Chains A and B, each alone.
Chain A
Amino acid sequence: MNEKVSEDVKKVVTSGPTVSGMFAPDQENLVEPTSKSEEDYERCTQCGYCRLVCRVYNTTYAERDYAGGRNRILKSLKKKEIAFDKEKIIDAIYQCMLCGNCRTVCPSGIDTLEVFQTYRRTAVRKGVMPEKLQILKNSILTNKNPFLESGTDRFNWCDSQSCNEGHKAYERGAEHARKIAFGELKPSDIEEHLVGYFVGCTSAYRNNELSTATSRILDKMGVKFIVFPDEYCCGSVLFRTGLEDDAIELVHYNVDMIRKLGVNEIVFSCAGCFSTFTTEYNKFTEGDLGFELSHMVQFVPKVAKQKGLKIRYTKRTKEDPLIVTYHDPCHLGRYCNVYDEPRELIDMIEGVKLIEMKHNREMSWCCGAGGGVRALYGEISTDIASTRLDETVACWEDINEDRLKEAIETNAEVLVSACVFCKNNLHLAASQTKPDLPVIDLSQILEDCEFY
């Protein structure tokens, strides 16, 4: 096609049904979820639109695995047309990343995430408990982290040698907590805008590069933040996997702990923790958390603007920028509507240029890690005894590979995200199939930036 014709065609197809205009979320009748009813699945017309956007369905091809299929099962269960078998139903419940893409395109406005999380909750109450989930649950309840690690090791990442900035923030936090505990300081007496960094289990125990980078960025920007010495797991995994009953205690614990310290704003490097605070923590405190929430991709541009700071990536120049493509994490994007800020942030960085993937923002493909899928199905990949699980796991890998294919098509040098789970999952797939494509967190670019 010549360029003129191609332009004309583009105009035509984006105004009509052909091409992705058909899934544009601004369509008149793609309504906002109309109710939060637990039985919203009743309103599913089985239209099948969400089938095409479901990364799980497009990997397993099983009707059971997409939202419409799951809704059908729910309807049949309600009418007792099929039995509820607590062993056999596990895959039908948990093979879903709760990525929310189905919710974005549902013409009936069904809040599929609400429906499926309720489904999981009800199932757990009826005795459904995958073995791996039980281990995870025990670890969170006992150690306050899902990794079977000792609670006392939570701050190993920020000893003075590995991350001095984090170390200082930890000490500030400990001192602040002590003063409050001994009545030397009252929260109401704190004059400055106190910022706390909620590190989260994964950055604390597994991905120290994130907690380190975050601490260094905040430090470079002149933010005198604290780290919470008494931080517990936020409970995200429990909420996603139907163990809400066990998570509520963590909500109250963390909220009380933060409120007592008089912190005004919490900064997160973990998209999972951020979305759990934004949705569940807000819900269980009836919208009255008492402190602001910001993910780093929001906090950095905000503070940079307030302080009149410019950002320059030291490893490249304006003329020869690093070409990145941004993977929207479900927990920032579809869960919390954070789409513009990370793009704005990348735009602010001199020496970095953003190229979009085909599926971005509301229509971004999930990396394949969410909803407990990585935890429940990822490790079983080694279990060669079960061909079925083998295939399933292969499917998760396929999901990751597909997402990478898109990144490659944009000719990006680096795939960046702002979620530790996305990073890990995409990185794993990259190491197996696309070793030349680095997958990093945005904070790792910011760590190599100058703020001036």
Chain B
Amino acid sequence: MKMNKAKVEEKQEIGKTKFTKEIEEFIPPAHVSTDMYDIEATSGDLSLLSKYHYKFKQDYQATHVVRPGTTEELSNLMKKCREYSIPMTIRAAGSSCYSSSTPTNGGVIIDMRRMDKIYEIDANNKTVRCGAGISWLRLIEALLEYGLGPKCYPTSYKSSCVGGFVVTSGKVGIGVLKNGIMKDAIKSVVLVKTDGSVETISRNSQGDLSLDDIIGSFGIFGAVAEVELQVSSLYTSMEMIGYSFKTFKMAVEFFRILKNNDTNRPFFLSLSDKNFEKYAHWTFPSRTYFVYAVYSDDPSATSQGVSFAKDAALKLDGLGIEDWYLKEKWRNLADTELNIGRWCQNLIFQEYWVSDNRIEDFYNFYTEKISKQKYRNAFYLMSGAKGGNRIKLFGLSDIKNSREFFGIKAVFNDITINNYKNKDNLYTLGVVNTFYFLKYDPERAEYLRKLKNKLDPEDLVNSYRLVKAKMRPWRVGLLFWIAKLLY
């Protein structure tokens, strides 16, 4: 991956003086920003840690934020960056956290969100072609006019962008259980590769990259400029149900029954503990564990699903949750995770991919850990399509208490290692947790590394994601070992 360092620096030096002017020839100057406040605002993501990665060393700080508006502008920009060996960080709404869209190598932040146009909605064939930088909310609103809706989308839809969901895993969210994951909905993507060349990639593509390579690539192979999606007709009825349970075991059993009911699959399905409910809402029901499901279909299928759930809940001593609360819950779905951030200045979280049959084991391991290290915590599981789920663990830490902060991180570290050992993994990866992936999924990492070397030999695009880590596992291990001792 290494190129002659002196040569790279020489190219970068030349670039410094010419670069801005040259890109302003094909991108409107208002969208080529060197304003330090603009760079600051565009560098972080929702999590607190990300900024340490671009502030830790001056070199990490980006010098430009550039906002291409078309595939052509994007392609020319990436070609220019390559010409002068300027690192690039692709960014959308920054909702995926873990510093996944934070600069780590200086250079240019490519902000994708000007690429927010809808090029075509084909109501007959139920497809849409749009810029990857469009937010889900805008896309949903536009499709609505045609009686259509995305097959699936993340619960961060109020801010996140279509391209962001494509290149992260796109395996959990609204609609996935019923309609399949993001990968199933993609017909094709237009990718601007790391050298600036443009390629349309669909299921049958024979080039260097397949659709599978791009999904979950976290942008290391280039920027997705356009996305063509299969969408579906909007359902004509929708109902939410919610039951609370005394034990985790019963809650999981109920969850599984709903998940495996192939006749009426929920449109959305989650399981949470009472802490999550408490921190996520102003008002919340009693009891300890909660399963929520949304059924959406034609009216008869919806009511079938609802009565199926009711019967199952009865058998497991599930206590129905009041209608008014369910209504709020559904309307607030996007906010719930974020609301936890209101309770502390230093919210820590980790997202795990956990297979259906391992949920209890995961939970037992987790409760054992938190019984030893007490901190304000919350547990939230969102169903993926059949087979797996995203579990998000939260630690609400006090900004002034660094021992608590590192203590919580140490708990998450143990859980991560345990999860990998049991053949599960992390759900979202970014700069801060890539080292786990490298250590515990070496085969996949090696495959990606080879591809990356071939396509991006200078490692200019989204460096320090998936194929190279900023942190060393032994250092992190040592740090957490000390943290546990101190906490």
Contacts and interface: CB of A to CB of B under 8 A. Distances in A.
B162 to A, nearest CB: 14
A51 B342 contact: no
A51 B135 CA distance: 10
Interface string A291-330: 0000000000000000000000000000000000000000
Nearest to A58: B116
Interface stretch (A344-352, A364-372, A385-393, A421-429): A385-393
Given A5-B147, A52-B137, A81 B41 contact: no
Interface hub of B111, B144, B327 (most chain A Cβ within 10 A): B144
A213 B328 CA distance: 46
A448 B338 CA distance: 52
A85 B114 CA distance: 28
Interface in B332-347: 332-335, 338-339, 341-342, 345, 347
Most buried by A among B113, B299, B342: B342
B31 to A, nearest CB: 7
A19 B141 contact: yes
Contacts of A392: 30
Nearest to A109: B342
A17 interface: yes
A6 B147 contact: yes
Contact of A29 (B38, B111, B282): B282
Interface stretch (A40-48, A137-145, A227-235, A431-439): A40-48
B144 A47 contact: no
Contacts of A60: 30
A70 to B, nearest CB: 7
Nearest to B32: A388
B353 to A, nearest CB: 23
B144 A19 contact: yes
A75 B40 CA distance: 11
Interface string A50-72: 01100000001111100001101
A359 to B, nearest CB: 11
Contacts of B328: 27-28
Contact of A9 (B44, B111, B140, B234): B234
What size tier do the contact residues of chain A reach? 35 or more
Nearest to A389: B30
B159 A15 contact: no
Contacts of B296: 12, 16
A17 B157 contact: yes
A88 B114 CA distance: 24
B395 to A, nearest CB: 15
Interface stretch (B235-243, B303-311, B406-414, B458-466): B235-243
Contacts of A6: 147
Nearest to A60: B30
B282 A28 contact: yes
B46 interface: yes
B49 to A, nearest CB: 13
A18 B148 CA distance: 11
A100 interface: no
A278 to B, nearest CB: 29
Contacts of B37: 64, 73, 82, 88-89, 91-92
Contacts of B299: 8
Nearest to A34: B342
Interface in A11-40: 12-13, 15-24, 27-29, 31
B338 A20 contact: no
Interface string B374-394: 000000000000000000000
A85 B174 CA distance: 44
Given A8-B236, A19-B140, A48-B95, A42 B29 contact: no
Interface residues of B, number: 65
A73 B236 contact: no
B182 to A, nearest CB: 17
A1 interface: yes
Nearest to B333: A17
Given A27-B332, A46-B44, A49-B159, A62 B33 contact: yes
Nearest to B158: A49
Contacts of A164: none
A374 to B, nearest CB: 18
A173 interface: no
A134 interface: no
B158 to A, nearest CB: 5
A5 B236 contact: yes
A42 B48 CA distance: 12
Interface centre among A6, A18, A73, A91 (most CB of B within 10 A): A18
A229 B289 CA distance: 69
A8 B159 contact: no
Nearest to B28: A391
B468 interface: no
A61 B281 contact: no
Nearest to A62: B38
Given A28-B283, A48-B158, A70 B334 contact: no
A333 interface: no
A60 B51 CA distance: 23
B293 to A, nearest CB: 13
A76 interface: yes
A62 B114 CA distance: 9
Contacts of A69: 41-42
Contact of B234 (A12, A15, A61, A83): A12
Contacts of A404: none
A72 B147 contact: no
Given A13-B144, A28-B282, A72-B44, A43 B342 contact: yes
Given A9-B147, A28-B331, A64-B42, A45 B342 contact: yes
Nearest to B329: A28
Contacts of A31: 282
Contact of B46 (A21, A43, A47): A47
Contact of B41 (A17, A19, A52, A72): A72
Nearest to A4: B236
Nearest to B347: A45
Nearest to A393: B30
Nearest to B123: A1
B40 A76 contact: yes
Contacts of B237: 8, 12
A67 to B, nearest CB: 11
Contacts of B138: 52
Contact of A52 (B135, B155, B331, B338): B135
Contacts of A5: 147, 236
A267 B115 CA distance: 47
A29 B330 contact: no
B228 interface: no
A107 interface: yes
A376 interface: no
B45 interface: yes
Contact of A63 (B38, B137, B338, B339): B38
A108 interface: yes
B345 A42 contact: yes
A238 interface: no
A388 B240 CA distance: 49
Interface string B115-141: 000000000000000000001011011
A77 to B, nearest CB: 9
Contact of B35 (A22, A52, A88): A88
A200 to B, nearest CB: 34
Nearest to B149: A18
17 contacts: A13-B144, A15-B327, A16-B294, A17-B334, A18-B234, A27-B335, A28-B331, A47-B158, A47-B338, A48-B46, A51-B159, A64-B41, A76-B40, A83-B36, A108-B342, A391-B28, A391-B29
Given A12-B234, A17-B334, A107-B339, 4 more contacts: A5-B147, A6-B147, A72-B40, A387-B29
Interface of B: 24, 28-31, 33, 35-38, 40-42, 44-46, 51, 55, 65, 67, 93-95, 111, 113-114, 135, 137-138, 140-141, 144, 147, 149, 155, 157-159, 174, 234-238, 240, 281-283, 294, 296, 299, 327-328, 330-335, 338-339, 341-342, 345, 347
